Amino acid sequence: MASVESQTELRIIREPKVYLIGRQVVDEEALAAFLSDHDVSHWTTDTEVAGEKLIETAGRVCYMSFQRPRPGGNRAYIGHLLEVGHGSVLEHAVFNLLITGVSRSLTHELVRHRAGFGFSQLSQRFVDESKCSFVEPEVIAANPELHRIWLDTMRASQVAYRELADLLMETFKDIPDRTSRRKKAREAARSVLPNATETEIFVTANARALRHFIEMRGDAAADVEIRRLAIAVFRLLHEEAPNLFGDYTLIDLPEGGQAVTTPHRKV
């Protein structure tokens, strides 16, 4: 949700947005060639999700167990990996997410997830932030007095950013290259932008890393904004790959909002 406060056109965001923009494909011809080269006449599984099929293929390579699959299909196969904690096999499924409508404080927490994640984030050195949006915590938005204090602060910082950026462009006027001039001005001016400044981040991660993220950040103890993101990521991935993310359940918290739980913590 984005709203615009009319007085100074301050754009306010209160909900993250997650786009699943990339997923894997299986090269069936290459897989069939591998199976044939290894005297496997026929192997098939019951998922149409490439990431899930790749995980099962990788897992079956470990024991060359293509010939006599146990009943239960891909769901049971991945369920067993979760049960016994063979998390490394889950690293073969990879998803590309584009996340918008989140604050710089959220992405500061997000990029702490090191293993199995790749990040590309909007640069405040290259991109002009004079019309940036701000992410308002729900608890502040719900209270007129808190909202007023917050709004005044966002406006003041945006005004300061614009003034500083203009004055710094003047300071660096002797730098001939326009891009370098702007970069130097913006990297200094951004120091007055708050944690609430909206940002956009492209995230590529494998299923094991995403599960860990959902568990850590979907937990009741996590920050409210990143917990909402973790739940949005979970919902998207659950729809995309139910055998990989189907063991999670959402619970309602007494203080409002939801959290994620699973019997398979950290594979």
Ligand X SMILES: Cc1cc2nc3c(=O)[nH]c(=O)nc-3n(C[C@H](O)[C@H](O)[C@H](O)COP(=O)(O)OP(=O)(O)OC[C@H]3O[C@@H](n4cnc5c(N)ncnc54)[C@H](O)[C@@H]3O)c2cc1C
Select 115 or 149, whichever has its Cβ closest to ligand X: 115
Of 53 and 212, which CB lies nearer to ligand X in the complex structure?
Answer: 212
Closest separation in Å from C-beta 247 to ligand X: 19
In whole angstroms, give the CA distance from residue 66 to residue 92. 18
Q: How far is the CB of 81 from ligand X (least distance, A)?
A: 17
- Amino acid symbol at 244: L
Comparing CB distances to ligand X, the nearer of 165 and 229 is 229
Q: How far is the CB of 253 from ligand X (least distance, A)?
A: 14
Active site residue 217: yes
| Annotated active-site residue in 104, 181, 208, 217 | 217
- Rounded least distance, CB 234 to ligand X, Å: 15
Q: Are 52 and 134 in contact (CB under 8 A)?
A: no
Residue at shortest CB range from ligand X: 114
Which residues contribute to the site for ligand X (CB under 6 A)?
A: 112-115, 209, 212, 216-217, 221-222
Report in angstroms how near the CB of residue 25 gets to ligand X at its nearest.
Answer: 26
If the CB atoms of residues 42 and 114 are measured against ligand X, the closer one turns out to be 114
Measured from the CB atom, is 72 or 257 closer to ligand X? Answer: 257
**Helices 178-189 and 144-171 sit at what angle, rounded to 10 degrees?**
140
Catalytic positions, written as ranges: 217
